[in-house]
């Protein structure tokens, strides 16, 4: 015959005592007035209370900020009224010292043997460490996202982001908007393509480090001449693009001339033994209203830029 197994009979009181003393999650029971009936040690330790029995008869208002306690009471009234639990609710608690604690909390209706609601009970877990990791991961991902859009040298948006944004902008000016252009010519957008004149000569004469200084200066000037809605991109080398929402061709030309004037009136000293040099740029502009798609818009702006070069540079076409 096999050995008989010893059976252990646990009373409800013994089970509650085990939960009270050893559960890492906070557990509590409340009456219909949201007064504590029973708390475990983890819950009491959260408030610096050694003996959880000392919490009996108290409410959240005795331990939490007023706003937090009022929100908890409102939740419990709804749970008692509907008998629908609140599962895995994320709670943020700002402590008096300014630190923030996060909890994943679930609350349930407390029912007697007849099914009548006699209060609520709940269990929560401190997830502050998890939230810290999540927030750090979010910040890291946002930083990586920004870096993937930004040109390292100038801080402008890069080539890849240019193509992403011009497609996105074009999608906002659909056929319905194009049809409305006859009533409002600003219902379109324009593109400025810009090259620095004789940039290779600058690199060859002063070196690539000085050439980089020129690129950064140009980036700053282009940004300073933008509206908040405009976007500036470094496509590569000394080629830049400016995306101008809600701007017809006439407005784009005004903007391009303003940029060209700002560049030529901002000389840069590249060599202490030489005079400051005056920067000029060749510019081409195009308007989406005049093009069948984004590819034609870009091609047209680039073609007009080279027309400006062929006509003697330092001009807008």
CATH architecture of the domain 150-316 equals 2-Layer Sandwich (3.30)
**Model confidence at 275, in pLDDT bands (50, 70, 90)?**
confident
Residue 1: predicted pLDDT: 47
What percent of the chain has a predicted confidence (pLDDT) above 90?
A: 57
2-53 pLDDT, tens per residue? Answer: 555 555 566 777 877 887 887 889 999 999 999 999 999 999 988 889 899 9
The more confidently predicted of residues 247 and 148 is: 247
User: Closest Cα to residue 301, out of 282, 278, 276, 275?
Assistant: 282
65-109 pLDDT, tens per residue? Answer: 888 899 999 999 999 999 999 998 888 888 778 888 898 999 999
pLDDT (mean) for 252-257 = 94
Residues 190/195/196/201 CA torsion (nearest 10 deg): 180
Cα(281)–Cα(113) distance, integer angstroms: 85
Strands 190-196 and 239-244: antiparallel
- Indicate whether 144 pLDDT > 80: no
pTM: 0.58
The ranges of the chain annotated as CATH 3.30.70.270 are 150-316
- Indicate whether 317 pLDDT > 70: yes
Cα(158)–Cα(233) distance, integer angstroms: 5
285-315 pLDDT, tens per residue? Answer: 999 989 989 999 999 999 999 999 999 999 9
* Topology at the third CATH level for domain 12-132: Beta-Lactamase (3.30.450)
Average pLDDT score over the chain:
88
Residue 34: predicted pLDDT: 95
pLDDT (mean) for 236-262 = 94
The ranges of the chain annotated as CATH 3.30.450.20 are 12-132
């Amino acid at each position: 015959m096999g050995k008989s197994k010893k059976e252990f009979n646990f009373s409800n009181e013994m089970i509650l005592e085990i939960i009270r003393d050893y559960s890492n999650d906070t557990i509590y029971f409340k009456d219909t007035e949201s007064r504590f009936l029973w708390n475990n040690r983890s819950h009491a330790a959260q408030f610096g209370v050694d003996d959880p029995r000392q919490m009996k008869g108290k409410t959240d208002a005795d331990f939490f900020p007023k706003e937090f306690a009022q929100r908890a009471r409102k939740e419990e009234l709804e749970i008692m009224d509907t008998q629908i639990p609140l599962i895995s609710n994320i709670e943020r608690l700002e402590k008096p010292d300014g630190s923030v604690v996060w909890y994943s909390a679930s609350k349930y209706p407390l029912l007697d043997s007849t099914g009548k609601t006699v209060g609520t009970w709940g269990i929560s877990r401190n997830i502050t460490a998890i939230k810290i990791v999540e927030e750090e991961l979010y910040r890291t991902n946002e930083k990586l996202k920004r870096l993937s859009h930004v040109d390292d040298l100038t801080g402008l948006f890069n080539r890849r982001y240019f193509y992403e944004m011009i497609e996105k902008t074009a999608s906002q000016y659909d056929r319905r908007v194009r049809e409305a252009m006859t009533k409002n010519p600003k219902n379109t957008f324009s593109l400025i393509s810009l090259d620095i004149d004789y940039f290779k000569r600058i690199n060859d004469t002063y070196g690539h480090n000085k050439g980089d200084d020129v690129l950064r200066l140009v980036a700053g000037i282009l940004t300073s001449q933008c509206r908040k809605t405009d976007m500036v991109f470094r496509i590569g080398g000394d080629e830049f693009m400016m995306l101008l929402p809600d701007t017809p061709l006439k407005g784009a030309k005004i903007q391009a001339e303003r940029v060209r004037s700002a560049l030529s009136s901002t000389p840069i000293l590249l060599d202490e033994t030489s005079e400051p040099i005056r920067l000029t740029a060749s510019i081409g502009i195009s308007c989406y209203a005049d093009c069948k798609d984004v590819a034609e818009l870009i091609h047209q702006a680039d073609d007009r830029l080279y027309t400006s070069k062929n006509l003697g540079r330092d001009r807008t076409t």
